[in-house]
Structure 1
């Protein structure tokens, strides 16, 4: 399941990089992930009243948090994919997931 999602993020990221003339070198994946952590934090601060709402409603701020969390997940998967990590196996080991069925 994650491998297919990783591929979808990878294809979207490649397309974005081409359109915006971005070189996705190994450092870019980690730096972009860090950027997204900051954006999730900023969205959380707005939603929780610790940051300026910028005129957004609570529903809009909640949507921003969801959108930024989606970006964060995408960049986690991009980092794993481009680093050749077997993230599915690591999730099962670290989170002690048992096979469903």
Structure 2
């Protein structure tokens, strides 16, 4: 049985992945042309209710980080080890996060 990676290695991997994803999101965001359809709906809903719930598929998370960067966003992020890198990326864009999942900490989240 293989021993788990040393703590320094895990920390470095997390730092590396977080920074690579952040750079890729920024490059993609600055180089992609976006066409907004019904953009006013989001603004009007936020104005009327104060906040909204936005749901997205996992495959769209990283582009959503860029598109919603100027909004006061709180994300629900898995409390798993994989969720740590996602959490760090969201933090680099100034978002807040609630950690939880169906099996770990979902109720308190």
User: Normalized against structure 2, the TM-score is what?
Assistant: 0.30
The structure that is helix-richer by fraction is 1
User: Normalized against structure 1, the TM-score is what?
Assistant: 0.32
